[in-house]
Chain A
């Protein structure tokens, strides 16, 4: 049995955040995951709070009142201070990360309004530098450039919808350039092409003469995977105006940049992610977990741990399941699931984008992110829960998903480092005394 200070279960935003902070804080960390997490599917903007239920302009200010109105919400656990601490920490990971000088910009104090791929303006707080130029709070003229070969990104559709926002004038143009030798190309294929100077030159040549004087230029978020800062800067220089990325449907290139950065930080700190480990339960003595059981191929193994961070995601990622009798189950450690509407109560609302009480189901935690049962008592003393596994949020409606994952993952790591540090200090004091 291997032994680690911390086993983190899940390799999405919350799990990687917790793991990196722990490893950089000196802990030995093992990240176990069934597969790669949702970073690859995420626009990779840090949405802290977008709607509550009206659009939020200043998320950090709005957090306290929001948490008060939503008892049991993860933001009530981490507080505005938890968010305020996590955001700069995240941005700093990029500063000397593998993709530097690619950077994040913005603060949790105010939301930008960035276009989606269908031309809706979405509030988001902290974003890749390559997206910040798309902030249309004050309106503006936008030329959305797309590629015929890139599925699911339609510049004219995005532009038509953008033009419906007051103060925004947008038009779309579609280019016919295909990365060399390719037939069916996804976002990553285009990102690799953009890493190539010849492809960039071709794109610039096709766009440059067609722009109006005041227009800024939007591209799908495919501006480079190896060195996105260089690609984006060069396009701005050559086109002589702001250029920005609009997130695409999966695979998300900006999400892959987050994954690459956090995974590399983790590796440098001496820890790693091990995939194809499906965690199936906890070994425990009373309320203390001593290790996690995992299924690896056809074999079962136990990974010993002093601490466990559970960050397997919610219903969408399979971290939480619902059976045909409406009983919820947290799949990795078998923790109780809270918030499942009782028989007779409303489970789903009639509107797709409306309120769905079921979405708030998840693992309930106490103030220290320990899982609790229906009676409010802790299930395990050394398990902390982070990210979309947590009960109480409706991240799609609130536009709070990454903010919750980042803040709860960051804080879980901090709580463990503090506890381990004070245990060490009392051990030292005991020896000295």
Chain B
């Protein structure tokens, strides 16, 4: 169950995803085909193009339909997937692959997307940080520059504007030192004056030092340690000079140096004075400190110049130059120190005036990898360009989030794929199993068919010789036989017939197993059936000396409706088993109503040995039905049968070997016997009980047993029949007319065993004899003495007879009054009864050999009492005679295409005095039988050319029906000899083929019965007597 649920769930999920996939796949395919066709179409014409497009569309549609239809099929998988899944399986596989690939791509894309997002964010952070730094640097620089400019104005005002000058070296250095916080980026400031060559001498004299050149020729200016001011040469003769006169203490070493002699400085100075703006040098190693630095130069003019002054005017007006030294490296360092997150990024500052060769001003030159942000720096000098490059110190962290996300997606997709795959393969497996089961089923069915065929063949082979036996018995019955012989022959025949029917019923086992067996609904005489069964086993029981007895409760109706054959079969099986396993004692069959049993159940005491039929202990009868469902555990009926139903309970009790406890559980299994040795000693197939169980089940009953090893077994079954008695005949039908001669007689049964006496009582009262039971002989005599009515017979059990015969006879002889009743001895076996011939004075007693049964009892009594012995009535004679009576003067039509058969049949019927007309074909028969006609019956061959017997009969029936209708409407004249108001001619089929199916077919097409070909007197009689009242009957 749970597996099924899981499967169902899987299928549902699968369906969901299937639809999703369908959509994707169709989209894919659509696009794919479009692309391909697009490629192809490039080379073909327009016509081709349209064709292709339609084809493609068709393809697409087909594909879509196929997928969606198979998708829709999924919910009804369990019902009809068998056919479609084979096709689907290949698709499933492909789809799973497509599914997996698709989701792998999706996860890769997710990964890429997430990491690019992260990268973007990082870049943004970097940019903002870099820009922030650049802006700060720029601001600081500008502040410094402004201040330097302010200082230039200071100098022009206080140095050149005042005579004498208000500033000397000391004042300047002090002032600049104290205001250095205003210029955070400058490490030092110096002022150089413009000195023309003509003024040099005077200037040198005034200052007290010579103007010196910045670099000595042989000296590398970069050397910082051995920098020696004194070593510098005096400046050569130039047009003009720019010696430093004031300097901040930090750069005091540059005093007296000619700024125009340094390459960088000269350029700077010239540019500054012509532009009037602050000018920056390219970064270069500073003198003495030898660190990278930039010098900012402002020109100091004699007078305030207008902003649009030409360079020449500016040069003219130049008084000196103020320079600020920017030690970029340390200054940037300081600046960055002040900012947060200085650890995370690396900053480089470049001078990129020459683009191809950027000069690094700050920062380590780590190989640039990954992200870099470039921010421009504007320091107010249009000629010089600077930029700041920022990088992250650390490499980017692993993109954990994106990895986890994409991995998660992938895992889910794979799981789903796995589920789908597992589901599909599960379905496939189930399907395969189903196929396998189907094949096995087919095999099993084939084996079953083979078994049935075998059974059919074998039983057919048995039936053939049995028919011979029965035929011979048949002939024997036609001969002159006395009553006893008749009884023997009848028994033999009944046994034979029982055997044949048993064989048929073995054949029915297959039918039962397949549930095709249907019970008949026929009126039957239950007591007659039991008599028959009893006689079947009587010889065997007599041989063994086992007492066989039947008792049927009064309350069981004489006639029941049900299937007598099957009922008989059950009884035969049970009794057959009993007699097989019983060597001494008795077999006792009782039939009661279930209701009756309930009433007596409380009164019934535990059975003591004495109360049984033969005095031997038996198995507890009650235990055999205690498991019946119809009886609830407290011993009361759990359902109330509907009134017309007769619920019988039948027990077969024996005093046999019993069933071993270990075998009791498999007693109703087919072909199971107690042990292998049983079949060797007793024969049998072991099928009987299983058939019985099935049959009992069909009769809405149950079967059970109780058995005690070495004591005996009791089988009990219930069966439901309908009441076959018409309400009117219930009262007066108790005595059958055949036995009317005994009516009113009285008998005394001497028996000390109540159970046995009850059986005797039952059988005698069936004959209409009133019975008095007494336990002892004395009481019988006493009864005779005081009895007011005459007693016709005394029935004595053999057991008592053996014991008390002498005594009894003496007593009888004493009183001649007692001679009138006839002595009857009830004996178990033939030999024992005759052994004692002590009847000296009186007539030898009549011996009745058990089992008692009505017909035999009647015959014996008739003979013994000398009553009712007369010529058997006409209709009791041999069939040939009765047939003659029945058929004399009847007009019969025989239809057969075979001349010989026709002739023989006609001869046979003529012999019985019938007036026979022959017809060679069905058509002729129809023309002869067109009502009104004078035929009394028709015998019809079935297999005839042109029109077979069935067809002919059908037509005859049609004609009759039409005629009947006309008679009813008063259209047709009622024929004078036929004072009948409706036509129905008895039509009997003649056939060599006596299969049941043919019989049914006969009845179906309106025939009244069938006789086998060639004619068999008894069968003919049986069939014919159903339609013709015997003339003797009508006479008498």
Q: Do A and B bind each other?
A: no
